[in-house]
């Protein structure tokens, strides 16, 4: 928006430099009010800013998952990561299974990424787990087989999608 200083400038349509000196005190007051509100909010709701430490269920590492039942399974980091993906594929089948990305931070500080988007291993086939029955009792599939067999609380998003 262009400000005009005189009637002659307005009539001639000549723009001049914007004079924003009248805005500065108002802007400064608004900024002070925002900072004050944020500081008061931090004093009363510091837990909301820091976060809830109860959400992290880990002692030697962590596997990030949208479902607590899937985050707590597994023996070590690798087993937990695989079991968590299979578990999410069981409970939230609409948002997991084929596809996705796994990011692994290795102890030496490097990272590995596994892109499992719409691909299966070359040797994969439909009956590849039928021959090894021990995987239903032990191994990465056991927690998800238990969930499938005995049921699980239906997450709100799955309930919404099933309706």
Which residues define the annotated binding site? Answer: 117
Provide φ and ψ at 115, rounded to 5°: -95, 110
- The full length of the chain comes to 163
Spell 103-119 as b/e; 16+ CB within 10 A means b: eeeeeeeeeeeeeeeee
| Separation of CA 15 from chain center | 50
Annotated binding site for L-glutamate: 117
Question: Residue 82 burial by CB count (10 A; 0-12/13-18/19+): exposed, middle or buried?
Answer: middle
């Amino acid at each position: 928006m262009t400000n005009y200083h005189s009637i002659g400038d307005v009539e001639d349509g000549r723009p001049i430099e914007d004079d924003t000196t009248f805005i500065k005190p108002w802007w400064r007051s608004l900024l002070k009010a925002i900072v004050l509100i944020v500081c008061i909010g931090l004093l009363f709701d510091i837990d909301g800013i820091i976060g809830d430490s109860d959400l992290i269920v880990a002692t030697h590492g962590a596997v990030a998952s949208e479902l607590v039942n899937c985050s707590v399974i597994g023996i070590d980091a690798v087993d937990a990561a695989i079991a968590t993906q299979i578990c999410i594929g069981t409970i939230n089948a609409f948002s997991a299974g084929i596809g996705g990305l796994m990011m692994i931070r290795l102890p030496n500080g490097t990272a590995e990424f596994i892109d499992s988007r719409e691909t299966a291993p070359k040797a994969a086939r439909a009956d590849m787990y039928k021959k090894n029955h021990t995987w239903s009792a032990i191994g990465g599939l056991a927690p998800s087989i238990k969930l499938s067999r005995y049921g699980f609380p239906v997450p709100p998003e799955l309930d919404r999608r099933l309706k």
